[in-house]
């Protein structure tokens, strides 16, 4: 059973029927335009050398964790539209448990146009409105060792749900994404204080904190969350826990598409974390999975357990600070 910060015991936190990983977030159908000859500017037209329609959004961390051998349930919404049908079929093909899927009788379109270059990508997204299933109810229904929240959330209901997570003994892994909020936004600071692992990229870390530099942003965030992981793209990654900081350079690869790299990075970190690996080992696994994902379009190159060792062998040695 789990105990909350003031000592109350939640009887629903029994280890019976505990899931491994719960992912809570919307699917997206990614329209990936790759091989752009130059950046896209207003008033101009740029032709891509290639195009694919691929499953994305919260599909990616759910699929990536499944490929790494975890029991995964994904809580999301699908509708009657073609985008829903394509991602739903992909999820079932990957063997994802569909007990968390909510099937609506109306379209639930979630679409992202990703303009991908070897350096970075820009995205434009659209999502049909759908009533959210309360996070606290999802946590109680699919008791898991860890929940993955793909973006920084805010609000009293989220704060209350994270309290439920801790009473259930569920660790909280939260990404950031390009969410328009900062530490000054109501409840954000309190929410991060209840997150076990927070994984923004470098730009997000600076924006959320308002710090003058990435190092300053890391100092601020490391004082709020139990474990901080910052993705730096071609600059590698850094992680901080209990005052211990380690860094790892990126793996040199021929980049095809960076669209799913962050989510695959997260999956690698969490895979090693659940196995009890030290912080440096978690970061190395994250860098390996993120690098692998950039070698093909979307999340198609997310490694499985047979491919992971060869990617780990290419990861530079961690530096401890």
Domain locations in the chain? Answer: 21-27+56-109+130-320
Q: Indicate whether 140 pLDDT > 70.
A: yes
Query: Quick one: which H or E segment has residue 29?
Result: strand 27-34
pLDDT of residue 78: 97
> 227 has which bridge partners?
197, 241
φ, ψ (nearest 5 deg) of residue 302: -55, 125
Element (H, E) at 124: strand 121-127
Q: What is the pLDDT of residues 25-64, one digit of tens each?
A: 999 999 988 888 788 888 888 888 889 899 999 999 999 9
Report the predicted TM-score, pTM, of the whole model to 2 decimal places: 0.89
**Which residue has better confidence, 284 or 38?**
284
pLDDT category of residue 86 using cuts at 50, 70 and 90:
very high
Quote the CA–CA distance of 243 and 260 in Å, as a whole number: 30
* Burial environment of residue 274 by CB neighbours within 10 A (0 to 12, 13 to 18, 19 or more): middle
Q: Which residue has the higher pLDDT, 179 or 282?
A: 282
Check whether 209 has a pLDDT greater than 90. Answer: yes
The domain 21-27+56-109+130-320 is placed in CATH, from the list 1.10.390.10, 3.40.1190.20, 3.30.360.10, 3.20.20.70, at: 3.40.1190.20
Question: Are 4 and 19 contacting, i.e. CB atoms less than 8 angstroms apart?
Answer: no
In the block, which residue shows the tokens 């759908």? 130
Token pair for 72: 């995964």
Within 10 angstroms of residue 318's Cβ, the number of other Cβ atoms is 20
Q: Give the whole-angstrom CA distance, residue 298 versus residue 121.
A: 12
Cα 28 to Cα 303: distance, rounded to the nearest angstrom: 20
On the question of pLDDT at 4 being above 50, the answer is no
Pairing type for strands 319-320 and 244-248 reads antiparallel
Laid out side by side, the sheet with 237-241 consists of: 101-103, 72-78, 19-24, 144-149, 171-175, 197-199, 227-231, 237-241, 244-248, 319-320
């Amino acid at each position: 059973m789990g105990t909350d910060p003031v000592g109350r015991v939640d009887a629903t936190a029994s280890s019976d029927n505990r899931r491994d990983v719960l992912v809570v977030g919307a699917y997206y159908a990614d329209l990936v335009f790759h091989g752009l000859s130059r950046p896209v500017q207003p008033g101009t037209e740029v032709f891509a050398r290639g195009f694919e329609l691929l499953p994305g959004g919260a599909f990616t961390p759910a699929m990536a964790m499944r490929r790494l051998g975890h029991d995964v349930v994904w809580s999301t919404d699908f509708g009657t539209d073609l985008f829903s049908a394509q991602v739903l079929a992909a999820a079932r093909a990957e063997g994802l448990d569909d007990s968390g899927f909510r099937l609506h009788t109306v379209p639930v379109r979630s679409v992202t146009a990703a303009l991908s270059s070897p350096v970075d990508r820009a995205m434009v997204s659209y999502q049909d409105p759908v009533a959210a299933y309360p996070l606290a109810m999802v946590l109680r229904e699919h008791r898991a060792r860890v929940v993955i929240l793909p973006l920084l959330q805010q609000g009293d209901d989220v704060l209350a749900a994270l309290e439920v997570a801790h009473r259930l003994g569920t660790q909280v892994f939260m990404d950031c994404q390009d969410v328009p909020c900062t530490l000054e936004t109501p409840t954000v600071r309190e929410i991060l204080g209840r997150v076990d692992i927070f994984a923004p990229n470098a730009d997000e870390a600076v924006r959320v904190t308002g710090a003058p530099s990435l190092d300053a942003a890391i100092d601020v965030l490391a004082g709020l969350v139990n474990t901080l992981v910052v993705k730096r793209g071609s600059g590698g990654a850094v992680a901080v826990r209990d005052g211990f900081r380690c860094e790892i350079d990126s793996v040199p690869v021929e980049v095809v598409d960076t669209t799913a790299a962050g989510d695959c990075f997260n999956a690698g970190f969490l895979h090693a974390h659940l196995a009890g690996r030290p912080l440096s080992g978690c970061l190395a696994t994250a860098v390996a999975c993120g690098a692998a994902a950039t070698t093909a379009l979307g999340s198609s190159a997310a490694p499985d357990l047979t491919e992971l060792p060869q990617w780990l062998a290419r990861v530079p040695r961690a530096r401890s600070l």
